Amino acid sequence: MNFFQSFYLTSRTFMVLGICIALFSVGLVFTPAFVLGQLLLCLLMIAVLAETIMLYSKPQLITSTRILPNRLSNGDENQIELQLKNYVNSPLNLTIYEDLPDLLQLRTWKLKLSLNKLAQHKAIYKVRPTQRGIYTWEHTHVLCSISFLAFTARKMKFEGLSSVSCYPSFEQFKKLPIHALTSSYAETNTTHIRKIGQSLEFEQIKDYISGDNYRHINWKASAKQGRLMLNQYQAERSQDIYMVIDMGRSMKMPFKQQTLLDYAINGTIALTKSILDVKDKAGLITFSSKNCSYLPARSEYKQFGIVNDQLYNLTTDFLESDFERLYKFVRVKVRQRSLLIIFTNFDSINSLKRNLQYLKAIAKYHLVLVVFFENTEIVELVSEPAGNLRDIYTKTIGKHFLTQNHLILKELVKAGIQGLITQPHLLSISAINKYIQIKKKQMI
């Protein structure tokens, strides 16, 4: 970078020039002020020249290295580190401008700090991504000036093109008591008895005893032994748990710059970890207007990474969801009774009634838990005192929308379907608590 591209005058210089102009103006009627203005202008020119020589006497004033994490956590504060080193014998004032990724939508970001002579410093700042995808940092621009002068600045550009993938939130594991919840469940439930359905994993052949299930009689073995023999199967300790994510229009609603779909994805990641910790089998189903995707339920811990990768690559056009397609898909793919945790959002009681028949049809073969969202902005609006007639009307409409959520929950319960209303930022912990509650009641 040549001299004219890197040379800048600071705001302090223009402030002193403003004082000089004021003194020159007063000097039209008061001569000593004009002389004082000339003296101040000469001193400013000397200071600017001296600082310029000091800044350009060395080819390299500082170095800057950016340290990025291996991957970003969506919806969380992610730490970025800049390692700075001063190579001159004077303290420097630094103003740092980063070429941040376009997805962050930060156009006026800058960082100011001081760096002692021949010193090293780690500057840390945080970014909060709200979309999954590739985040690319480009160059770091630093304006350097001498601390005790600070009339001019030299711009230095550090090449640092680097990209990082933003995955569904994994930082939430440090905040949520997931391990404590699953450990508490494991301590109070050393054996899990399945009430509906049974395992098909063969264990042994034994003598038939009155009260045994006659459907398991092994007729070939009975003919050989001359007495009734029974196939005995292992008690099934782990159940199939499927997270079902609605990728339709209703999940596009934003909350704190994130869509409800991203909150559902983050909640699915937290729930998957809890399911695997409890030794159940975790699977994934996504559905939209045109297609459905399916990941079979498995209990191996590598399933967590598979789910994470699949959710990272999830894309949708946010069209109207097809619950009929979901029902047909589940009937074909999920043959064993399972817990289906459906993350969706209903705008009103009418939108639920349009799809309730398909949820009831799924509930005939599986235990269904429908998780939908409460609009926290409406909750805050309703909680504020009304100051005029317009506020009263607004609060009345807001209470109507909140009442709709409770009516939806009642309709689900009436249809024999489990329901959960949660605020978006509390989705993960609420869903885990509900899952643990279902396990303790041995509903699946």
Kindly report the CATH number assigned to the domain that includes residue 417: 3.40.50.410
Domain check: are 148 and 85 in the same one?
A: yes
Domain check: are 156 and 208 in the same one?
A: no
Give me the number of domains the chain comprises. Answer: 4
Domain check: are 427 and 359 in the same one?
A: yes
Domain check: are 29 and 66 in the same one?
A: no
Domain check: are 119 and 188 in the same one?
A: no
In a domain, 348, yes or no: yes
In a domain, 228, yes or no: yes
- Closest of 195, 197, 288 to residue 247, by C-alpha: 288
Domain check: are 121 and 254 in the same one?
A: no
In a domain, 265, yes or no: yes
- Closest of 333, 329, 330, 274 to residue 304, by C-alpha: 274
What range does the domain containing 220 cover? 202-233
In a domain, 149, yes or no: yes
Domain check: are 185 and 131 in the same one?
A: no
Domain check: are 352 and 404 in the same one?
A: yes
Domain check: are 176 and 159 in the same one?
A: no
Domain check: are 321 and 283 in the same one?
A: yes
Give the C-alpha separation, 123 to 94, whole Å. 11
Per-residue pLDDT of the chain (444 residues; tens, 9 = 90+): 788 889 999 999 999 999 999 999 999 888 899 999 999 999 999 999 999 999 999 889 999 999 999 999 999 999 999 999 999 999 999 999 999 999 998 888 899 999 999 999 999 999 999 999 999 999 999 999 999 999 999 999 998 888 999 999 988 877 776 655 666 665 555 444 444 445 555 668 888 887 777 788 899 989 888 889 888 875 556 789 999 999 999 999 888 889 999 999 999 999 999 999 888 999 999 999 888 999 999 989 899 999 999 999 998 889 999 999 999 999 999 989 999 999 999 888 898 999 999 999 999 999 999 999 988 888 878 888 888 888 888 888 888 888 888 899 999 999 999 999 999 989 999 999 999 889 888 887
Residue where one domain finishes, among candidates 56, 77, 99:
56
Domain check: are 111 and 130 in the same one?
A: yes
With contact defined as beta carbons under 8 Å apart, do 69 and 79 qualify? yes
In a domain, 197, yes or no: no
Domain check: are 322 and 392 in the same one?
A: yes
